[in-house]
Amino acid sequence: MANIKSAIKRAKTNEKRRAHRAAQKSAMRTAVKKFLQAVDNQNKEQAAELLKVANRTLDKAVTKGLIHKNAAARKKSRLTKKFQAFNA
């Protein structure tokens, strides 16, 4: 455990940030999983709406520094490709 006051504060804020980022990452993964479930269940309207939500959450994750922009672009591309194949 840290002895210096600033180090104690740093440890506390790091733990807070870690928990917050974990929650945001979890929400991002959940949005993607919900979209994939809608595609598996053959629900076109729901899949279209959830694709927008997933793309939005991925973009927010990039702006908050949770994932790299290329990783988000790759995920969005794969989700869109899956939706197009499902829609055809």
pLDDT at residue 88 in the model: 78
Distance, in Å, from the CA atom of 78 to the CA atom of 81, rounded to the nearest integer, reads: 5
Summarised one tens digit per residue, pLDDT across range 23-57 is: 999 999 999 999 999 999 999 999 999 999 999 99
Range of the structural domain that residue 56 is part of = 5-87
pLDDT at residue 2 in the model: 85
Please determine, for residue 19, whether its predicted confidence score (pLDDT) is greater than 80.
Answer: yes
pLDDT band at 84 (very low <50, low <70, confident <90, very high): very high
- The total of structural domains in the chain comes to 1
Give the CATH number of the domain where residue 13 resides: 1.20.58.110
pTM of the predicted model as reported, rounded to 2 decimal places: 0.86
Whether the CB-CB separation of 7 and 15 falls below 8 Å is answered with no
Q: Encoding tokens for residue 62?
A: 């990039």
